Structure 1
Amino acid sequence: MTETKSLTLNGASHTNGKAHTNGKIKVNGDVQPNEQLVDAFADGTVAISANTPELVPGLVDQVASLGKDVNLQDHKDRSTLLEAARSLVYALETPREAMIRYCWSQATLYAALETGVDLDVFAVLSKDEKPKTATDLAAATGADPVMLARILKHLAAMGVILETGPNEYRRTGISSSLSMKRYNDAYPCMTNCITAGVLALPAQLKKDSYANPSNGKDCAFQRGFNTDLHFFEFMKANPEIASQFNNHMSAYHQGRPSWMDVGFYNVPSLFPNVEQNDVLLVDVGGSMGHDLSEFRRKWRDAPGRLVLQDLPEVIAQAKIMQLHWSIEAMEHDFFTEQPIKGARAYYMHSVLHDWTDDHCRKILTGLVGAMKRGYSKVLINENVIPDTNAYWETTSLDLIMMADFASTERTEAHWHRLVESAGLKITKIWSAQKGVESLIECELA
């Protein structure tokens, strides 16, 4: 008589058969190795073979085709080719190579970059096109020449600077940008207020039994930076770090399509029935007023008043920066009642992603009470994560928000749930291109 053996695979029962399940099978309740998978992993071929070889031929053709007629000054052309090239690299790269890139190159590159910024190496290197030796750069910066030569070699290996000979280097676009504070502040900024929180995320998630973070005063940020302060309280207590953060954010937004550009949002649709003494736009939590200043430059003849709102210390700083005379600066905490009633539009740029849904609901409810039905709008300038093919900048930012704010970048469905819970409805989501913040247009429900 033949014995019948029962196999439990992924919760289903099978008879006298085998199936792959994480390299093991269960026979009569006992875990048995799946010999085929064990052999594949044991000889190392998986780790040293191309990641997705079946995609390589098509991606090679795509890169070659796109490269023939690419206009590098056209953002869409350049970014399409860049994404195809990245996809080709990921397909060609072996798991072993990816592991070393994740574990070695990224952390060490960051250390090299921050060291170079602190030494002003990039400012010296970028004075002109002339190649400079490691010895020259060490003399100019006061660094140990042996140490600096090691740093420079890694920066060249990672494409930050260009190697022109033995221990000799020339500037690139990246290194030239790193000679400017607006861009090089990003590196100490990350070290001083972001990265330790992100690195603490796995331990924090494990402690919380892998629940979605929801408390901005008890998340990975506090663990990583050994503080009881919320991120924004930490910024207030450390003004130099806050300045670095503001520079980083301004650099992040540079060169990206803006909702007020022609062809993005229908800006003139806001103008009818707005008189000169009416409030056209309230920038809620608008920081230094960069967005309103941009709006005034691009729409000089727009009717009505522009009002910038933020906390007292921020408004004081904005006034020092000499806002355009037509922008009114007002102290306001967006968790309290909105004092400007019946404005045409209440605008928020990257405000709600800093906060949990409960906090966002409070912010939005404060606006609802000030809106005029059939006239007022809420314009939310934020990321909308697509259901598929999300962009890496957006998914990276989502995990940063999870770690350091216990907040999130939201999907379209999430945005609908959130605004509707506050008494609003989304009338349209305006988008320009992948990875760029959309404009979510809302009215009273």
Structure 2
Amino acid sequence: MSIEADILLQEAKESIEAAQNYKTELQQRLQDLNQARKQVKGSATQTREVLKQHFRDLGGALTKLLDERLASLLLEVDTIEQNSIRPLDDCQKLIEQGVGTADELLREGEAALRCSIGGKDDKLCSFTKKALQIQLDSLPEVPSLVDVPCLSAQLDESLLGVVRERIFSHGTVASHPPVQIDELLERPGGIQVRWCKVDDEFAAQDYRLQYRKGTSGLFEDVYVGQDMEYIVLHMDPNMDYQFRVCARGDGQREWSPWSIPQVAYTTLAPHEWSTGTEGYSLSSRRNMALRNDTALSKGTVLYSKAPTYFCGQTLTFQIITAGQVDKRDSIGVCVECVNGQETLQRDRAVCISTNGAVFVNGKEMTNQLPPFTLGSTVTFDMEMVNLYPVNNNLEGGSHKLRVTIGSGSREVVFDWLLDEPCDSLHFACSFAYPGWKVLVF
């Protein structure tokens, strides 16, 4: 076979491979497109059901309220009618009683007149005395029509207009939730979740983050507040977790629709303190250490279980409780664990003391950070800068790490020179007095 034929054959194979890759990419895009279509269709169907159910519930509630108000007004009418009719009934009884008395008196008078014609005057005398006792000139008072109730209903015809206006403006339909998850970052034993607003007109007062293990089951709240990021801890490595976030508008009680759920997992083992160090007790997950009241005669350094801090990550310490301050106190990272030390302020380590002093290889820097207080958070960020060979021999060179230590609203940045490359570092702490409790993540 000639060279030209070989070239043509190779080009044909490359074209076939390119076509296959092209087909694969197009099929993947079709799957993505179908997924997008399902999201539109599914969310539209769900939104329709939510709207129908809401307005059914609202209609039922409004009907119930109207029925209750009608019943209340009718009861008020009944009460006024009964209270107004009662004195009229009493007056009627009194008049009817008077009419009966007058009828009886008339009959007696007619009988007395007939007897007087026959010469019998005693009955006429008796009748006259009885008529004088009855007080025929005393009549009961009947109230005039203006003095008795005339019931009517006062109904505000503008209510329908107000209700109509409120109903016509009730509810909105949005094509996107006002907030979406923007970034999911691996952290040791956790995921750092960041979100952002996608609706600039939505004035958010609070955010609410939920997650669940796997892609089924119930979501649970993990954060509610004003921050737009949160680190979810205590997560199993290499296990899928699903996250979603929503927001509450300024002055509102209701939460917005949830963001589109995002799936993430961490491959990084959680940070853990080493067990068995005298003077310290650990939490069940071994990410929280408490300096207890043993071994008070000397300072003690507590190291991590393994060198789990890598360049490019953020290592965070949080002060849960505070104790008495000592100049030997320190929190930081180191190349190796050295037993028998009273402090981390030594060679091949960088740390910050509880008074805010920063130490690099045991030497105190001029820059200081705020002293530790209850709730203080200290972060360490490191990145590899470059290598400086000696006589073109990397083995004898210096390795530079750019370190950023943050505490509160302040931070210090410096270069840390090491005599050998270091892929991972231990974290450590030392406290001279009990009462200090520190969480690492």
Verify same fold: TM over 0.5: no
In terms of fraction of residues, the more strand-rich structure is: 2
Structure richer in helix, relative to its length? 1
**Which TM-score band (shorter chain)?**
under 0.3
* Greater radius of gyration (CA): 2
TM-score (norm 1): 0.22
| Higher relative contact order (Cα pairs below 8 Å, separated by 6+ residues) | 2
